[in-house]
Every structure is written in C-alpha cells, then in structure tokens.
Structure 1
C-alpha cells in the first residue's frame, strides 16, 4: 500500500483546521464538515482547543486517496506552540503550507517556509480564504515570491475573489511553469531552446513539475477556500500526483521516531511513532531512547479512513499509537536510532515561576507538571529545592494561559504565575582550562579531570571532544564526564544555559578497582562514576571562569503597520521598550516599521499598541537572535544545582566535607 504522511502547516488563523475538515469531507472520510467556531472539528479534540478555537496539540487523521493512504497531521499555527510543529517535521513526507488570501504572508509563514526549505521537505502552498472580502491574488503571489521563495509554480487562475462564488480554475501557465522548472533542468531548457513550439509538451512539463516538487526544488501554488470547497479538488490532485510516498523497508531492522506522547484513560502512556524501517509487532520487546529503556509493546493502533483501528503490527512508512513503553519520551528512537535530532526552531525564550493556588497540593502539582513536560519537553521544568519553586519555559503569554487552563481542567490544580522573564544564554568570551588530579591537593574525588572551554560559532550548541586516549580508563568514566559537562552547562557563571562552545577533555586518570583480602570491592580505594560526576562540575566551572562568559538576551524581529499619523507617538514608545527600528516606509496612509525588540517586551508592546494606534496597528514578531546585554546590570538567574561556583558549599552538598 502506498502511504503519504502529510503535514498541514500555517500561521495562526490561516485556516489549517478548516482545510483539514474540507479535505476529509472531499474524500468521503467524514459526512459532515466540522467548524472551528462550533468546536466540533475532528483534529481539535481537546476541550481547551474547542473553547479557544486554536490548535494546541498536533493531531493525526487518515483518509484514502486513489489507492494511497494519507496520514494527515494538523499542527498548531500559533507561534507559542511551535514546539509541536518541530516534533512533527521529522516524520513527514510532504507538507501543505496554508497562506491566507486576505492577510497574505505572515511572520510565522516565513519561519515555517524557511525551515521547510532547509529540510528539503516537499511543499505545496494553498492560498486559502479566496471567498473572503479583501482576498487578493497577484499581491499574494508577489509576496510569496519576495518573502518565501521565488521557486513557485501557480497552478491555475482565480475569479470572483472576495465573494461566496470565488473559484479556482486549475491549469498552470506553461510558459511561467517552464521558466521556473528550467532553472533546475538543463535538458528541459535545451529542448525548449532547440524547438520552442513542439519540444516541451504538457506531459513533459507535468513530469518535470512532479520530479522537482518531490525534490523540494519548486513549490506549486493553489488558491481556494476551505469553507466553500473551491480549489480543494485541485489541491488533492496535487497531493496525489506531486508529493512523494513514504519509503522504508518493512523487512529491515525496526526503526521509528516518537513525535507525540499522551496519557490514556487509565493514565498509561501512549506514544505516537512514525516507522521508517522494519515491522513492529504487538508483544515485541524493543529498545527505545538510545537504549535508555526497553519495553514490550502491548498494543498497536494505526490510522485508517478517519478512524483509529487496532492492528497486530505496523510496517515501515506508517504512523502508529504504541502502548507499553512506560518510560518513553518525545524524540525517542524506537529500535535502531536514526541520524538527526537537530533543532529546527529557536528554543523558548521566556520563563515563569508557577505559584500554587490556596490549598493546592504541591505533590499533585508536581505530578501534573511532570506529565505536561512529558507531552511538551520544551516546557523544561526547573525545580529549585531551596526556594521550593518550579519554573517553566515558554514561547509566549498564550502558552502560559493554556498551561494554567490545562492544569485546572485536566488535573484539578489551581495555579497562577509570576511575571514572565526572558530566558538568556551565556556564551564563552575566550578560552579557559582547568584540571584537578587524583589524590592531589584538596581534591576529595578519586578522579583526574582536565577540561578546556573554547568559543564555537553561534548556533553550534555544545560539542564535547577528547584529547586523551579513549582506552586510558573505563568508558563509563568518560561517559560520566561528558554527561556531567552537559548537565553543568545548564547553569553558567550567571546561572544561564551555556551554549556555542567546545569542551575538550585534556586530562584523565582513575584509581583501579581495589579489594581487601577475603573481601569484595572497596569503594573508598577505587574510582567510581560518582567520583567523575562529582569532580567535573568544579573543573568545568573553573575553566569557564578563566574563559569568561557574556550573557545574551533573546531579541525578536518585528514588523509593525500603523497609520502614518501615529508614528510620532509610536517611535518614543518603541524606544522606551528597547525596540530598535531598522527600516521605516510608508504605503499611502500606512507606515511600516521593521526592527528588533527584546523578547521580554513583546507582550507589553502588544498590549500598548491599540492605544497608540487607535486600534489600527498590526504587529508581527518572531525570534531572531540572541544579542549581548549591553544595558543595565547583567541579569542573573538563581541556581538550582549544588553551586560549583562556591567550592566549600558544593563539597558540603556533594560529599559532606570540604577537602581531601
């Protein structure tokens, strides 16, 4: 059976979920089309999603399409839930990127398209809402070319835009299509130049379009309306003819990726996994999470014709729900690990402390937050045992409201939050090295560890290397050092995550296994992994001290449109918020400002904008980069570890002694 795992992506309110409903109805998978406003769509199943009218969690539905099974994944469009999109991208064969014919290309649209092109995921564009007042054709196509990609092929023409009778007539302009396709096909260009009249037939153009779309070189553009159904049949033809089917050998080694985890009615974990190779069967025992755990698959369900059905096995190419993997996490490999695991989007840039409401059971709150973090690892719970506080990472204020409502609705836990603060990072300024030797000076650990910290290119993350021989001591000790390095770098000199650096192990040593006569292993005379885990933070922090670190705060790029006569009030307000306009332009009576603003001030800018612009201002923003903090005091973050910055305090916490 041919399979296609298809993602529906868009900026919020572009009409993804409505398009999903229309597609399911068009192929006969559902009898009635659900409505986002009515809260009865197939993919927005959470009560909170239906109440707010937005998609919060990715959802999978399936339908048949001319002998092919399509697993369609509806994803959130709001930027606060970009982590849900990130988890889905790695399991897709193709994407439909939805753009509004009224609002056009928006901030999140650009972020998504940039990522899809970088990952070379075959993508069709669907310009939705042609029946809405203000719908545009030529202007939207120009914006797509200018702001998303010039490699587009319009797949037809539109008529009666902005009315309920708006229509889309399929049929790409051969000349326009040839102009784009020939950029990637020398043979096609040569044939055209040799005989423009007859050499390039419609069949050849269609074959070239399909081949280049599947290679993510060009992107067909359809127009239509999810509400009226205009253009949807043409889009389905594009999905069938232009996007690639899933590959993978069902007889190969079992290999899959978990992209979603939820809790079943009895509180059991249910993992959503895409299988890339092999066939996984119920009652199979399988490794998962880079061999972190192993479990027996107790049940399997697959998506079929709009429903979920139990199966005894799931082959390569399919998406399944798996029961029985009790410790599974999002991102885990099932069976043989696959290459990859890189981040596609920026991590959360905000943080807030959870405040239990009156009478709230702290243990129940801890359980609830832990289960939420299982479903969204980027919430990144941060427990402070000293202050008895828990902080969560966020993308924005809407996500905070959703977390609060989820805790109340699903767990019966009442919470509020402290003021949201930016999540900064630290980057090394220079190079620093430190070493402590086994049984020398005041080292209380039976271990030798030497580390050097070097700056690395922006965006490179953390790389761990070794200048010592791997056979110089047991591998478990090297692994203990690397794990401790990565854990310690979660809190640098100022308490922020340290990134974009290379840490090199320069010295190693240990005390071999010792035992007394007629007795077993003597831990007091022999090195253990605990020695290396205990010593590494002290050495690494000292190396960081010598290298120095600089705190960087998250910045968002923004585009602000407002009446020209309000710019006089806007510009001082932007300056007071730390925003820096880079470009200013006017279009008739509208002024357009583009620039950067600290992530921590975006919400305040959103709140103040209506009053500054008579309610006519429109703001779009997205994370751009981390920039050095150059104003005011350097922001610090309270530590939640054993504080290796203070050797005496650290050793008292770890060993209950202050020296060797």
Structure 2
C-alpha cells in the first residue's frame, strides 16, 4: 500500500480548514461542504472550535488519490496553539503551506516556513482566497520569494483575481516563460541539468523539467506554488494532482518490527486513553504486546484506521498509516510504540517553549481537587501547558503561548469538566542557562551524605536549541539499571527549576561517579533497608548533587524576545517610534514602502501585549503589528526568581528535613 501523510499549515484565517473541507469534497469523501463560520467543518469537531471558528486541536482525515492513501492533518493556525503543530511535524511526509491572497505572508507564515526549511520537509504553497476582494496573487508570489524563500515557482496563472469568477489555469509545458522560470530555478540545484541546457537547450522537454521539479520538491530544494479558492474550488484540482506527483509517497514497509510514535491522546467515553499513532515500520495487530514509552509493555485491544473521512475498526495497521490504538494504558504524547522510531521522529523541539504562565484559580474552593484532575487530563492532550502544583502555596500554574489559549482553557474547564475558574495576571516565563562547567560528587558513608548512594554529576552548556542530554561517564554495569534510571529522571525533573526557579535549557549532564550498597538481609531473610541502597536513595541525593554542580557552573537568567514587524502609514511613524521605545521595543530596520513604512525589530515578550493594546490608537487604527518568538537574551539588572514547587535542594537543611518527613510518612503508611 502506498501512503502519503501531509500537514495543512498556515497563519490563522488563511483558510486552511476551508481548504481541507474542499479537498475532502473534491475527492468524494464528503457530499456537502462544511463552513468554518457555521461550525460545520469535518475536522473542527470540538464545540469550542465551532463556536470560535478556529482550529485548536489537530485532526486527521483520509482519502485516496491515484491509488495512494493520503492522510491529511489539519493543524491550528493561531500561534497560541503552535504546540499542536509541533507534535505532527516529525510525522509528515510533506506539507501544504496556505497563504491568503489578500493578507499575504504573515508572522506565523514566516515562523512555519523557517521550521519547514530547517527540517527539509517537502512543501507545496497554496495561495488561497483568490476570489476575495483585494486578492493579489502576483504580489503574494513576490512576497513569498522576498520574505520566505526565492526557491518558489508558480505552477499556473490566475485570471480575474479579486472576483468571484477568479479561475486558475495551469502553465502548459510549452509555455516559454514558464519553461524559462523552471530552468532558472532548477539548474541552481542540478549541475547535470545545467549541462544539458548548455549543450542543447532543445533536448530539455517540458516532461523532463517536470520530473526534475518533482525530484527537487521531494528534496525540499524548491517549492511549487499553486493558487485558488477553497470556497469556489478554483485551482483545487491542480493541487490534488500535485500532492502525489510532487510529494514523496511512501511504499509499504510492513515487514519489519512495529515502530511508531504517539502524537495525540484523547479520552474515550469510559475515560480510557486512545492514542493517535503514526506507524513508521512494521505492522501492529490487535492483541499484540508492544513496548510503549520507557520500556513498559502494553497489549493492543483495539485498532481504528482513517478511511475516506472517518475511522473504521480493523485487525491490523501497517507502516505509513495513522491509527487510533486502544489498550496502551498511561500512554503520553511523544511515546514510542514498538521499536525505536526512525531517526528524526520525535526529534528535538522545533518551536520555542511557552513564554507565559498564569495561576488558575477555581471560583469555588471545593473544586480545587477537580481542577487539578481536569488540568492533568488537558495536559495529556497538550503537555506544554506544563501544569505545576505548588502544595505550599496551594496554587496551580499553567504555561501559555498567549491570551487566547487562556480563554480556551477557561471555556474547556467550564464546558467539559464543570469547573469554573479565573486567572491571575499572566506573567513571563524566563529561563536559565549555564555560564560554565561545574561538577559535584557525594559518596556513600562520607559526610554530609545521609543516603546509601554515591552520585557524581558534571554539567556543561551546549549549543542553543540543542536541548538536554544525559551521559554516563561510568560503566553501565557498575549499578543496577533502575538506579541509573532514577538518577536520569531526577536530573530531568530538577532542571525544570534551576538555581532561581526557572528551567535550565541546553545543557549536558554527565554522571561521573556511581556507587551503591548491595541488597542486605538479616539472618532470618528479611530485607534490611538500613544496609541496602534503593532507587529512593538516588532520587533523594541527586537534586543536592545537581544543584551544587549548577552553583559551581553558574547560571544566568534570560528573557524571551519577540521579533516584530509593524506596517503603518508614513505620517504616523514619528508618533509611533517614541511609544515603541517606552515599551522597550527596539527597531532594527525601518523601510519606506510608498506612502507607508515597515518597522522591524525586537521586543520583550512581556511587552508584546502592551504594544498590541497601545498601537491601535496611534496610526488611526491602520497599523498592522505582527510578532513571533525569536530568541532569549540575558536579563539586565537583578535577575527575577520564581518560587520553587518542590522540596528546595538549594537549601540543604530544609531539604533534608522535608525528605526525612516524606520518608517517615511513607514508612508509616506501610
């Protein structure tokens, strides 16, 4: 079986959900077109999505084109829900990036395209809404080349743009202008093609150029541009043909061991978890017992596959397909299913972590327990909301990408869980980075170590964006595997709150020392904890060692920065620049465009909302402001701190007292 898994990506309101609906209609999966405005689209199934007219959760639909099963994943366009896009990128064979013919290239468009280029994901571009008043596909094509990538080529022409009668006509292979543009684009990446052209231009047929275009598109070297309208259907047939012609179709790989990745989790009617899994290799069958996550085994009790717009039960699912698997227990997003997935799958982060957070407050104190349970279930669907429970202050904090996400969480809690909540003021999430390298060690039986474990750790900074790595600098057989696992898991958990309470990013932690006391027992055979190491000893000691290593290395606090772009009338520039300065926005470039100006620069994430609120009153409401996260920068002045939510290992005395109470309580429970 041949398969193709594609994602539909776009800036919000570019029309990607409407395009998804039109594609399903054009291939015969649905008889009637749904409407985003009316809340009747197939992929926007949540009540909130239908009410608000935006996609919040990624959704899958399937259809067949030329014998190829196409799994289409509709993703959110609003930047507040970029985590949904994050989770599907590693699962895709190709992408359709949708751009509005009216608004053109927008902030999210650029952020998405940068990521697609970095991942070398084959990408087709669809200029939508050519029938809308103000549509200018030629201008948008120029903007694509100038602001996204010069490696774009239009596959057709639009006639009657900006009118309901707009139509799209594919360029024929005999069109000399189209042939010239293809040659200029394709020869930049293909010396053999250039040689053919130099030796005898007449040998280069339109068919030959189409083959090279397909090959270079599959390598993500060039990006064919289609145009049309999801509402009228203009140009959609050409896009459908381009999916299987230009994107890499996967052949059946069902013979190897099962290998897949969980990219979405939802709850069934009885509360059981249902995992959305992309299979990269092998075949999964009902009643198969498979490794899931970190070595846990689970039995598959049910399989549903996507088929022509709906899901159907099946006994097996093969490589290349997307399936709903039941029976995987406490499965989480990102868990591997079966053998380790292919290189690149479930890889590193593609977008920044959330830069905002807020405390969620139940309107009724009696709902606090229900609130925690509800947020824990929401975190299964979106792990990046990062629910943090502070037992000392009796507070629950969630991470956010923006204010719209906060509104959606509030509505979801009320409508699906019956919990009414409010929020405290949204605050910025800072991060910590290592300044240098540091090491610490505590040995068994050597004061002041009170635990039956020896742990040595060395921390070192790594390149920005590289993430966390844990390495063993000791022999793997020097301790039971469970003890190494306890150390690594505790290191990961401790790094979520560095010396000043912020997550420590981009570092490598090496375990340099390891030691334990083997299991001991009394003469009558009972286990003697006082003489035997347990995983608990390693979990309790590791935070103390890691914090000391961090102290010796040193950390600095950094704040998130956004790159902004502001387009405004020329006569408003003098009034806007002082306002930007007062809001800590620093222009890097100011360009004149006819009677208007485009200002680009950096602004702290904590000030973005203030800029958005202030600007509409300045350029007569005609300013267009866009921003997206760009980088972190060191904080000037006294670094902000965040209260810890765990037993604070930076205060050794209080930490040991808290751990002793915890251990005593657990023994009492037994």
Q: Compute the TM-score of the two structures, normalised by the length of structure 1.
A: 0.97
Within the alignment, does 1:193 sit opposite 2:198 as a pair? yes
Within the alignment, does 1:335 sit opposite 2:335 as a pair? no
CA distance in 2, matches of 1:360, 1:595: 47
Within the alignment, does 1:304 sit opposite 2:310 as a pair? no
CA distance in 1, matches of 2:237, 2:514: 65
Within the alignment, does 1:233 sit opposite 2:232 as a pair? no
Within the alignment, does 1:630 sit opposite 2:636 as a pair? yes
Q: What residue in structure 2 maps to residue 267 of structure 1?
A: 271
Within the alignment, does 1:452 sit opposite 2:458 as a pair? yes
Q: Where in structure 1 are there 5+ consecutive unaligned residues?
A: none
- 1:121-136 map, 5 Å: 121-136=121-136
Q: What residue in structure 2 maps to residue 217 of structure 1?
A: 221
Within the alignment, does 1:350 sit opposite 2:356 as a pair? yes
Q: What residue in structure 2 maps to residue 506 of structure 1?
A: 512
Q: Where in structure 2 are there 5+ consecutive unaligned residues?
A: 173-177, 664-670
Within the alignment, does 1:249 sit opposite 2:253 as a pair? yes
Please, which moves more after superposition, 417-426 or 463-472? 463-472
Determine if contact 1:247/1:276 at 8 Å carries over to the other structure. no
CA distance in 2, matches of 1:190, 1:520: 81
Q: 2:327 aligns with which of 311, 314, 324?
A: 324
CA distance in 2, matches of 1:384, 1:6: 41
The alpha carbon displacement at 1:359 in A equals 5.2
The alpha carbon displacement at 1:657 in A equals 10
Within the alignment, does 1:102 sit opposite 2:112 as a pair? no
CA distance in 1, matches of 2:661, 2:102: 66
CA distance in 1, matches of 2:603, 2:379: 29
Within the alignment, does 1:380 sit opposite 2:386 as a pair? yes
The alpha carbon displacement at 1:137 in A equals 2.7
Q: How many residues align structurally?
A: 655
SS in 2 for 1:125: strand
* 1:139-193 Cα shifts (integer Å, max 9, x gaps): 2112111221111221011111111111111016111111111122222111111
Q: 1:619 aligns with which of 620, 625, 638?
A: 625
* 1:181-221 Cα shifts (integer Å, max 9, x gaps): 1122222111111111x210111111111111122221110
Deviation >6 Å, runs of 4+: none
CA distance in 1, matches of 2:245, 2:165: 27
SS in 2 for 1:265: coil
The alpha carbon displacement at 1:519 in A equals 2.4
The alpha carbon displacement at 1:355 in A equals 0.7
- For the aligned residue pairs, the C-alpha RMSD in angstroms reads 1.6
Q: What residue in structure 2 maps to residue 536 of structure 1?
A: 542
Q: What residue in structure 2 maps to residue 154 of structure 1?
A: 154
CA distance in 2, matches of 1:557, 1:453: 31
Q: Compute the TM-score of the two structures, normalised by the length of structure 2.
A: 0.95
Q: What residue in structure 2 maps to residue 26 of structure 1?
A: 26
Q: What residue in structure 1 maps to residue 667 of structure 2?
A: none
Q: What residue in structure 1 maps to residue 656 of structure 2?
A: 651
Please, which moves more after superposition, 261-270 or 43-52? 261-270
SS in 1 for 2:433: strand
Determine if contact 1:651/1:657 at 8 Å carries over to the other structure. no
Please, which moves more after superposition, 253-262 or 178-187? 178-187
Within the alignment, does 1:84 sit opposite 2:84 as a pair? yes
SS in 2 for 1:330: coil
SS in 2 for 1:270: strand
SS in 1 for 2:263: strand
CA distance in 2, matches of 1:657, 1:564: 65
